[in-house]
Amino acid sequence: MQLSLKVAMALSILASTNLYAATTLVVPEDVKLLAVNMEKPKLEGGLFSSEKTIEIPDGTNQIVFKYQPAFETNENLKTVYSDVIIAKFDVENEKLKFELPEFKTLRQAQNNISPLDWQLLDTKGQPIALVEDVLESDGVQIGRNYPQESRNYNIAGGIASVAVSYVTVNQHQQSVSDIEPRVETSDTRTITVPEDSPMVDVLKTMYNKASPAEKAAFKNWLAEQ
């Protein structure tokens, strides 16, 4: 009886582990992750961290991102933006990292960032197989709804599309085929900063170049606000 109980417990633990098996995607500061599996991504990491992470489910995943390296020119910070990339790939129990071109100058980035030459590397440093496309928009580029755009892209059947009734990040095995975007009402007004705000890029660059004492002083000031 005790042996059977131990076997049952072991199987239960194994099943639970497999159900929530996941992969970690490491996102550097010069990559803007715009959507993961048709959802707005929830990245983990400090505001001024050089890289952040997000947990994605094992199996087929789809990401939307753009590469935006910044350069100092005449004491000004200028950012170069790649096309918005949509890509799908299969993964299982990995830690993925972006491999991106390293441009030495602003002009070099402007001339070579498109088409973007990039890869996702596994824990062994080997590139994984993926299918990519450019997520284009004919309308206004500012304030784009990337989760909805990726959903529309998948419905249209692009080369990097996934099934619309598919698992969403942070919601294991939940179908999104019949789920419409939820609108929440609130009397509390919030202020949102555009994802591509140049000011955020400037703050990050200045923080990373600050001395440890200056960083500590800034954190103390920020905590008092």
CA distance 98 to 119: 6
CA distance 183 to 43: 22
CA distance 175 to 215: 44
Q: Give 71-76's long-range contacts (Cβ < 8 A, gap of 24+).
A: 71/103, 71/105, 71/106, 71/109, 72/205, 73/106
Which range among 136-140, 190-194, 197-201 has the greatest average pLDDT? 136-140
How much is the pTM?
Answer: 0.67
Whether a cis peptide bond, with omega within 30° of 0, leads into 69 is no
Amino acid letter, residue 115: P
Question: 31 CB contacts (<8 Å, ≥6 apart)?
Answer: 65, 66, 67, 68, 98, 100
pLDDT of residue 138: 74
Is residue 187 pLDDT above 70, yes or no? no
Residue 15's CB: how many other CB atoms inside 10 A? 10
**pLDDT over 90 percentage in the chain:** 55
pLDDT of residue 176: 41
With 0-12 CB in 10 A as exposed, 13-18 as middle and 19+ as buried, what is 91? buried
Mean pLDDT, the chain, as a whole number? 80
Query: Average pLDDT of 205-221?
Result: 69
Is residue 29 pLDDT above 50, yes or no? yes
Higher pLDDT: 15 or 74? It is 74
Q: How far is CA 183 from CA 54, 179, 180, 224, in A?
A: 24, 12, 9, 33
Which range among 17-21, 129-133, 141-145, 187-191 has the greatest average pLDDT? 129-133
Question: 118 CB contacts (<8 Å, ≥6 apart)?
Answer: 67, 85, 98, 99, 100, 101
The answer to whether 146 and 154 have CB atoms below 8 angstroms apart is no
Higher pLDDT: 218 or 107? It is 107
Amino acid letter, residue 118: W
Residue located via tokens 């990559």: 31
Is residue 225 pLDDT above 60, yes or no? no
Is residue 203 pLDDT above 70, yes or no? yes
